[in-house]
């Protein structure tokens, strides 16, 4: 807490001083700048009311709810298999990853486990949706800073991954493929070889972005030291995923939470960066994409044979109980707190989405920064509005 | 900020999860005394602790500063009242298929670690060094539900409490700015309460089973009969 109050105090004093100076010399006053709801940096409809003093932000107040769809209420009238269709639409860039924690929580309540092959394919698709999601970030971050080219590369190369997801699930964005006790279907023929080729292309894309963006002086100047999040503040706000790892916190649910996926059998490194600034967040995501491509290849090589569906009753009733299961989604920790009363429908589902916590730090983080840095910081926090508004 | 080091355990020393969670509970009880009312441990999986309403922030503070759960998950609430609307599937055609089953409201029950009130506040935090998470619960009074704020312990509780306030109508005493987060400013009511109907189903009633096409090749009459049986079982 001390860190916050100090920083708040400093920002307040700076604002006061700036106020006094400006008022005396130029006879100006503070101004309110409305950013959004429609702004490319908001990935949807996030509105930010920034109170400015000159170029400096005195306070920033995110306003959301423009896209609130009430999923927590809707789940209460839908059966468990129907819920996956809804939760697909939370983080629409990595939709398969949204289904997994819900299914795992339901499986924990029912005390069943998916067969090994289903777990492997689940992990495989999970990592593919991570790549599809983060690849877009890598291009998007640059476009926020004024470099147009990388985002076209991102859209081009994301297609390789989406094609692979589509050929398994039938859906590019909303696979709805995960089932309680396993998966809907097995992999199609020839898929593994194609996936490996796609991973090669993604690694090339990462190299391209690295040479295009990360070496650029402008990019460094706009991101280094901008939006620094100290680890303890990040943890207090519940930041997760690459945002907290960029602050030097070594915390990855893939490695640290033992949930029904096969990360134990894979060799993967958890990347962290000590700086905690926008550059670090970009860098960590870049490394994670590379790491994910390697994991996908390991998953392709180690895929066991066997059934893809455990024995589950045709009409699924989940025994009474409570469960919280979270997984390391592309955007960070995504968890479902399910309360069941032994019914066809969940009694209460609390969706703990990553972006909600990741953006809740914005009022603290944006205080005292300059206007162009608002965009850098929001882009580097990387949120999807569907993931905030649910 | 490093008072968490007092309880630090090297990852190797973390023995079987059951011992870990039993130890957690013992330590929490020792630290907070009678603030801990009830608890529930799923061996190897998770732990729930119900604490006294007036000790809510205090217990959270102990867990964060002494037991080192520095990572904030979420704060939310549960309305334990059984929904008077059921699944809002009131289409005439459903009544023909399922029979006109009166909605069985049933008794109010509570989940893990028990509870005496209609509303409960839930908080999830985790210790990222020792790799455990804990779910805290607290009862809030039925009339004028309120509880102390966690924003002074976990700054990130700010938005979560605003959401729980507008959705459930639970007041968080001491919250710096309890404003609407998602809902429009003039919205009346608390949508996540069980006695708040799902408006989408009232504006446009559920079309019922006519909406469902039979599976190709499957005998549709058998299917619907089975589905009807299942639904009836579910309602009971």
Provide the CATH number for the domain around residue A133.
Answer: 1.10.645.10
Give the DSSP letter string of A110-154. HT----HHHHHHHHHHHHHHHHHHHHHHHHHHHHHTT--HHHHHH
Domain annotation covers residue A375: no
Backbone angles phi, psi at A385, to 5 degrees: -60, -35
Q: Using the predicted structure, report yes or no on whether residue A231 has a pLDDT greater than 60.
A: yes
Which has the closest alpha carbon to A364: A109, A9, A14, A93? Answer: A9
Token pair belonging to A198: 């796609």
What's residue B8's pLDDT?
40
Give the DSSP letter string of B32-49. HGGGEEEEEEETTTEEEE
What's residue B95's pLDDT?
64
Q: What percent of chain A has pLDDT over 90?
A: 16
Distance between start and end Cα atoms, chain B: 52
What's residue B130's pLDDT?
83
What's residue B6's pLDDT?
38
**Interchain pair A70, B156: CB under 8 A:** no
Indicate the pTM of the whole model: 0.82
pLDDT in tens, B50-79: 898 888 888 898 888 888 888 998 999 998
Find chain A residues with C-beta within 8 A of B124's C-beta.
Answer: 324, 335, 337, 352
* Nearest-neighbour CA in chain A from B30: distance (Å): 25
What's residue A337's pLDDT?
92
Find chain B residues with C-beta within 8 A of A360's C-beta.
Answer: 156, 158-160
- Count how many Cα atoms sit within 13 Å of the Cα of residue A83 in the half-sphere of its side chain: 34
**Interchain pair B1, A2: CB under 8 A:** yes
Token pair belonging to A244: 């907290």
Q: Enumerate residues 173 to 202 of chain B having a beta carbon within 8 A of any beta carbon in chain A.
A: 180-184, 191-192, 198, 200-201
* Nearest-neighbour CA in chain A from B46: distance (Å): 8
Classify residue B234 by burial, with Cβ atoms within 10 Å: 0-12, 13-18, 19+. middle
Find chain A residues with C-beta within 8 A of B226's C-beta.
Answer: 315
Q: Which one has a higher pLDDT value, B212 or A364? A: A364
Domain annotation covers residue A217: yes
Distance CA A208, CA A214 (A): 10
Which residue among B72, B180, B231 places its CB closest to the CB of A238?
A: B72
What's residue A62's pLDDT?
87
Domain annotation covers residue A9: no
Domain count, chain A: 1
Computed over its alpha carbons, how large is the radius of gyration of chain B?
A: 22
Domain annotation covers residue A79: yes
Which ipTM score applies to this complex? 0.82
Q: Using the predicted structure, report yes or no on whether residue B91 has a pLDDT greater than 70.
A: no
Helices A116-144 and A149-169: angle between axes, nearest 10 degrees: 160
Asked if A53 contacts A15 with a C-beta cutoff of 8 angstroms, the reply is yes
Asked if B94 contacts B28 with a C-beta cutoff of 8 angstroms, the reply is no
Domain boundaries, chain B: 2-89+104-198
Domain annotation covers residue A262: yes
**Interchain pair A235, B198: CB under 8 A:** no
Domain annotation covers residue A373: no
What's residue B208's pLDDT?
63
* Nearest-neighbour CA in chain A from B34: distance (Å): 24
Backbone angles phi, psi at A213, to 5 degrees: -105, -50
**Interchain pair A357, B156: CB under 8 A:** yes
Which has the closest alpha carbon to A48: A383, A332, A334? Answer: A383
Asked if A56 contacts A368 with a C-beta cutoff of 8 angstroms, the reply is yes
* Class of domain B2-89+104-198 as given by CATH: alpha beta
Please tell me whether residue A287 adopts helix, strand or coil conformation: helix
Which has the closest alpha carbon to A243: A290, A277, A294? Answer: A277
Domain annotation covers residue A304: yes
Distance CA B197, CA B206 (A): 13
What's the domain range around A355? 71-362
**Interchain pair A236, B154: CB under 8 A:** yes
Q: Using the predicted structure, report yes or no on whether residue A17 has a pLDDT greater than 70.
A: yes
What's residue B220's pLDDT?
46
Which of the residue ranges A334-348, B49-63, B167-181, B207-221 would you say has the lowest mean pLDDT?
Answer: B207-221
pLDDT in tens, A257-302: 777 788 888 888 888 988 888 899 999 999 999 999 999 999 989 8
Q: Using the predicted structure, report yes or no on whether residue A60 has a pLDDT greater than 50.
A: yes
Distance CA A119, CA A102 (A): 14
Which has the closest alpha carbon to A244: A347, A138, A361, A340? Answer: A361
Compute the 3-state secondary structure of chain B and give helix, strand, coil in percent, each to the nearest 5.
Answer: 35, 20, 45
Residues 6+ apart with CB under 8 A from A262: A116, A119, A120, A123, A299
Find chain B residues with C-beta within 8 A of A235's C-beta.
Answer: 70-72, 128
What is the mean predicted confidence (pLDDT) over A171-175? 85
CB distance from B87 to chain A under 8 Å? Answer: yes
Interface A-B, measured as beta-carbon pairs within 8 A, has a size of: 117
What's residue B107's pLDDT?
74
pLDDT in tens, A312-357: 888 888 888 899 999 988 988 899 999 988 888 888 899 998 889 9
Q: Enumerate residues 53 to 72 of chain B having a beta carbon within 8 A of any beta carbon in chain A.
A: 70-72
**Interchain pair B109, A341: CB under 8 A:** yes
Distance CA A193, CA B227 (A): 42
Domain annotation covers residue A61: no
CB distance from B135 to chain A under 8 Å? Answer: yes
Q: Using the predicted structure, report yes or no on whether residue A22 has a pLDDT greater than 70.
A: no
Sheet with B132-140, edge to edge strand ranges = B36-42, B46-51, B132-140, B119-127, B71-79
Q: Using the predicted structure, report yes or no on whether residue A307 has a pLDDT greater than 80.
A: yes
Which residue among A235, A324, A333 places its CB closest to the CB of B70?
A: A235
* Nearest-neighbour CA in chain B from A64: distance (Å): 6
């Amino acid at each position: 807490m001390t860190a916050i109050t100090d920083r708040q105090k400093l920002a307040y004093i700076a604002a006061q001083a700036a106020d006094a100076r400006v008022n005396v010399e130029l006879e100006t006053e503070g101004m309110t700048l409305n950013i959004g709801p429609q702004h490319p940096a908001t990935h949807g409809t996030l509105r930010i009311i920034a109170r400015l003093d000159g170029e400096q932000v005195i306070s920033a107040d995110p306003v959301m709810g423009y896209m609130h769809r009430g999923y927590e209420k809707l789940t209460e009238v839908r059966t468990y298999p129907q819920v996956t269709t809804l939760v697909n639409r939370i983080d629409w860039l990595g939709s398969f990853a949204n289904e997994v924690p819900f299914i795992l929580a339901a499986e924990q309540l029912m005390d069943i486990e998916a067969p090994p092959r289903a777990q492997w394919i689940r992990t495989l698709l999970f990592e593919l949706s991570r790549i599809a999601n983060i690849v877009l970030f890598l291009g998007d971050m640059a476009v926020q800073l004024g470099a147009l080219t990388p985002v076209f590369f991102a859209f081009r190369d994301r297609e390789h991954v989406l094609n692979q997801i589509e050929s398994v699930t039938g859906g590019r964005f909303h696979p709805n493929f995960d089932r309680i006790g396993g998966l809907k279907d097995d992999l199609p023929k020839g898929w593994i070889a194609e996936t490996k080729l796609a991973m090669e292309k993604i690694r090339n894309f990462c190299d391209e972005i690295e040479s295009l963006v990360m070496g650029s002086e402008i990019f460094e100047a706009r991101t280094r030291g901008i939006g620094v999040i100290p680890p303890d503040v990040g943890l207090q706000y519940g930041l997760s995923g690459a945002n907290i790892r960029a602050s030097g916190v070594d915390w990855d649910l893939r490695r640290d939470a033992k949930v029904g996926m096969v990360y134990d059998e894979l060799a993967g490194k958890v990347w962290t960066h000590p700086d905690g600034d926008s550059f670090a967040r970009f860098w960590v995501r870049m490394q994670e994409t590379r790491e994910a491509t390697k994991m996908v290849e390991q998953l392709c090589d180690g895929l066991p044979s066997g059934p893809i569906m455990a024995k589950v009753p045709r009409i699924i009733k989940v025994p009474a109980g409570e469960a919280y299961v979270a997984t390391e989604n592309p955007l960070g920790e995504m968890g479902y707190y399910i309360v069941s009363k032994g019914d066809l429908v969940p009694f209460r589902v609390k969706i703990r989405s990553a972006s909600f916590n990741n953006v809740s730090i914005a009022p603290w983080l944006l205080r005292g920064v300059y206007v162009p840095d608002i965009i850098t910081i929001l882009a580097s926090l990387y949120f999807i509005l569907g993931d905030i508004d649910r | 900020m490093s008072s968490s080091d007092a309880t630090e355990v090297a990852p190797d020393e973390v023995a079987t999860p059951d011992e870990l969670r039993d130890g957690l509970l013992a330590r929490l009880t020792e630290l907070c005394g009678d603030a801990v009312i009830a608890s529930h441990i799923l061996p190897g999986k998770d732990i729930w602790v119900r604490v006294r309403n007036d000790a809510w922030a205090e217990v959270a503070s102990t867990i964060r500063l002494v037991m080192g759960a520095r990572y904030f998950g979420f704060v939310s609430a549960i309305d334990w009242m059984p929904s008077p609307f059921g699944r809002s599937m009131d289409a005439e055609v459903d009544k023909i298929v399922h029979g006109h089953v009166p909605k069985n409201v049933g008794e109010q029950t509570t989940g893990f670690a028990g509870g005496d009130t209609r509303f409960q506040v839930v908080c999830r935090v985790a210790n990222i060094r020792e790799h455990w998470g804990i779910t805290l619960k607290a009862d809030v009074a039925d009339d004028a539900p309120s509880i102390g704020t966690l924003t002074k312990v976990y700054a990130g509780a700010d938005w979560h409490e605003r959401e729980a306030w507008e959705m459930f109508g639970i007041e968080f005493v001491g919250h710096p700015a309890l404003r609407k987060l998602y809902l429009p400013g003039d919205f009346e009511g608390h949508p996540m309460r069980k006695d708040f109907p799902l408006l989408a189903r009232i504006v446009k009633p559920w079309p019922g089973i006519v909406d469902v096409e039979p599976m190709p090749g499957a005998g549709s009459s058998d299917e619907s009969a089975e589905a009807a049986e299942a639904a009836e079982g579910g309602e009971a």
